[in-house]
Every structure is written in structure tokens, then in C-alpha cells.
Amino acid sequence: MAANLKWAPVLALVVVVAAMVGTTSAGNIAVYWGQNGNEGSLADACNSGLYAYVNIAFLTTFGNGQTPVLNLAGHCDPGSGSCTGQSSDIQTCQSLGIKVLLSIGGASGSYGLSSTDDANSVADYLWDNFLGGSGSSRPLGAAVLDGIDFDIENGQSAHYDDLANALKGKGSVLLTAAPQCPYPDASLGPALQTGQFDNVWIQFYNNPGCAYANGDDTNLVNAWNTWTSSITAGSFYLGVPASPQAAGSGYIDPGTLTGTVIPAIRGIGNYGGIMVWDRFNDVQNNYSSQVKGSV
């Protein structure tokens, strides 16, 4: 049957509006890369088409007058200068529209900030050696990263607010953070109150009190409500393990994630998508590829 032409513009408008409604709540995936030499290259991660953000993990030593140390497990040796080869992979990722950040901290390492001056000094180091500055020693080569991710897990919260403010003051720097789901985060609480963070990917794992457990998402949804109503950030991401082996607790199988958990939080706060730990486990479990269309 031929379409009634006088209704064509109206039908077209309906189709456009429906398409917009279908995409406004679509989420992205962020991933951590760098802590397992068997996870494939950075370019492999980006060429997978799965991620919008890749956090290079980790700068494990900084602050307190220490010489900063980059630890990329089996991928390269910063001390020998071999990590400068990552520059081309970073640029490959960015050419695909993927934001690449340096994650500072991690679950182990030697880091902390002793004063505002110390925070400013670390900000200068990050700017000159990984971001838009012109330092003579750039561990990842000439590529300019898009920003810095704060994965601070040592319980010492002092002066990370100063670091965030100093980095944002230098220009176009994307700032993200990975707090634990108990609110407020012991290490990042004051920093997150600055409102300087573009994305906050909350770690809903290894914390039984606020993570998904035994088929019950009540604690997770309550924590999500608290986080999204208590701090100002561009977007909030649900941090999940990419496999049961990736964390001690908090794994959510793909079907439950997309069928139950995401629908429960999608309309609460500035939902941005999910963060997965980490690329190695994601490759092993094909997690992101199973959920990408529904996050």
C-alpha cells in the first residue's frame, strides 16, 4: 500500500523523536588496561570497538618528593624507555574517538600528597610528561593523553582536591575517578567535592555492603542513589568486574547486568555507562561484547 504523502513529514518526525528517545540513555564502556601482559596491546583494546575510555594503569609512585614510577606490568619497561612505543597506540585510540587517560594510584604502590605545593608539583609533572606540556622525558612518548584518572586506594585523602584543581587549571584536561562504593570514599571524598571530575566510575565490587550480591541489587541501587545525589560530576559509571576472577566479590553476570541492574539505575543521576576491570579479564570472559548493546 502506498503511503499517504500528507502524513509523511509527521511520520518522519515521529521516527526521529523515537530514535532520540532510544539513544538518550545509551551508555559507554570504560576499561582499565596495563596490568597484564597477556591482555593484548593498547591498540588491540581500542580496535575492538568496545570502549569509549581506556585508562592506562598505573602511575604507582608519586608525591612526597618521590620520583614518579610508571608500572605497566609485562607490556614495557619505563626504566629502559621502551614504553615510549605506546605513543602510536595511544594515537590510534584517539583517532577512533576513544579517550585515553593515565590512571594514578592503584591498589598497591607508594603514593600520596604531603601539601598543596606537593600536589602542584605532581600536577606539573603530569602535565609536562603525559598531557599538553613539553617535558623532556615523556614515559609514553610524544602522544598527548586526554586526561588523568584518580584510582586512589590508600586511604589518605589529603590534597587530592588540590591536585584536581591544579590539573583543571592547566587547560583542557579530562578528570575521572574510581572511588569505592561505600560513601564517602575514604581516599577521594574531599577531591570529589570539588566538582572537577568529568566522569566518576564507582567500584561496585570487593565491597559487600554496597555491591550486588546473592541476586539482590538493593544495596547497589541505594549506594548509586547516594553517590549521584551527593556529588557533582559529568557522568556516573557502574564499575563491575569483567569476570568472576577479576575481583573477590561483586561480579554481575551479563544477563543480570543488562536485564536487572542497568534498568534499575539508568534513570537515576547522570548515568554514563559501565566501567570494567580489566581488559585482561574482559578478553577472557567476552564481558563487554556481551553487554555493549544494552548498557
**Active site residues per annotation:** 153
Q: What are the C-alpha distances in Å from 224 to residues 200, 210, 291?
A: 11, 9, 20
